[in-house]
Amino acid sequence: MKKTGIAGRIFFTAALSLLWCCTAIAQQLLLGDERPEVYAPLLEGKRIAIYSNQTGCNSQGEHVLDVFLKRGLNVTTLFGPEHGFRGTADAGAHVSSSVDERTGIPILSLYDAGRDGPSDEAMQRFDVLVVDIQDVGLRFYTYYVTMLRLMKRCGQCDRDVVILDRPNPNGHYIDGPILDMSLKSGVGALPIPIVHGLTLGELALMAQGEGWVEHACRLTVVPCAGYTHRTFYMLPIAPSPNLPDMRSIYLYPSTCFFEGTCVSLGRGTPYPFQMYGHPAMRGKFRFTPVSRPGATHPVLENQLCRGVNLRGMSMKRLQRLQRVELGYVVDAYRRMGRPADFFPRNGRFFDLLAGQRYVREMILSGASADDIRARWQEDVQSFRAQRRPYLLYPE
């Protein structure tokens, strides 16, 4: 379907969602799944699939699945993202189909049918897909990639999609290079910055409105009430095993780059993404990654690493930072004496995470972090204007 053919429906949905949001802006924060008066009429009498995980809970700790069943809604199918429906699998681990122990409802794997999403047989099990999952607002965080895959399949199979929106804990700023689509991958699916500042609902509206999703679906977003892009939302549940707390979530946009290097970022410790180090690095701080739940066989397992501890940064300082900090990677590269193997496999995975090849190339050439950041600022400003028609919440 052409972009012009869906524009009216998308902008109507965005305008209606914005009206719902603005009428409640002075109220307490309500998640999309705490607004049954909005979502229930969209779901009653239909067979429902839910894309969620352990984060799909309301403020009282009730999971969306249990809430739907108590309301008498007909949930027939469950989908879980990377880490699975209960959120315990390792990053990138194959998650097989199973059954939810509490309810007996089938959990269908998104991986069994390959990269294109659920099989035709799975798609015949439901009429409407409900998305209720906590994202962290980063281009390389994979939950939105799975959502886009499901949206595409729903468009192909004439299924509705309803997103119960949630705040973005990194929704108060935008930064990072725009993805070069020649580097599109499972850790980057859209031409957006590393920190895009959108909720999942806003991102879904933008993806369809810009024609980035093939086979556009019938999409409705149930927005949060009382939320703005200036809200510092503290997640009550860890969104994945290696993002255990808000410090990890705030540092993740900057320290995730280490996934594409030979340096440990703390996977295999209680504080992933809050430190970096290597046996050959200079530094007084020391740690040893070990195999643990959610981080089986981490990089540099059982090796004593020296490096830098970022855990001393206050939460207020992290909130004020509002930038992708490349200085950590540049610092590690220089501390190690600029080794030739700093970027394994010719830097391929680093480039996928950065979204542009020039980031790695400039680091190798000796450029400073500020010089590299300056290169993407104009693109960020263009994206800021491009995303504005899809915003559901005040900036």
Q: What are the tens digits of pLDDT across the range 27-55?
A: 699 999 999 999 999 999 999 999 999 99
Q: Do residues 229 and 256 share a domain?
A: no
Domain that holds residue 253: 246-383
Query: Is pLDDT above 50 for 3?
Result: no
Is 167 contained in some domain?
Answer: yes
- Let me know whether 210 and 272 are in one domain: no
> 222, 162 in Cβ contact below 8 A?
yes
Long-range pairs for 66-73: beta carbons < 8 A, 24 or more residues apart: 66/102, 66/103, 67/33, 68/43, 68/130, 69/103, 71/36, 71/40, 73/40, 73/43, 73/44, 73/48
Q: pLDDT digits over 310-335, tens only?
A: 999 999 999 999 999 999 999 999 99
In-domain check, residue 213 = yes
Residue 391 covered by a domain: no
Q: What pLDDT does 97 receive?
A: 64
CATH (domain of 89): 3.40.50.12170
pLDDT digits (tens, 9 = 90+) for 61-117: 999 999 999 999 999 999 987 555 754 444 444 445 678 878 889 998 776 555 578
The string over 179-213, giving b where at least 16 C-beta atoms fall within 10 Å of a residue's C-beta and e elsewhere, is beeebeeebbbbbbbbbbbbbbbbbbbbbbbbebb
Asked whether the predicted pLDDT for residue 10 surpasses 50, the reply is: no
**Distance of alpha carbon 139 from alpha carbon 194, whole angstroms:** 5
Spatial separation of the C-alpha atoms in residues 257 and 329, rounded to whole Å: 7
Structure tokens at 179: 């993805």
CA distances, 292 to each of 213, 268, 277, 279, 299 (Å): 37, 6, 18, 20, 12
Q: According to the model, what pLDDT value does residue 111 have?
A: 63
What does the block give as tokens for 23? 């009428």
Q: For residues 40 and 71, is the Cβ–Cβ distance under 8 A?
A: yes
Sign of CA dihedral 82, 87, 93, 96: negative
- How many folded domains does the chain comprise? 2
**Do 26 and 141 reside in the same domain of the chain?**
yes
Query: Is 0.85 surpassed by the pTM of this model?
Result: yes
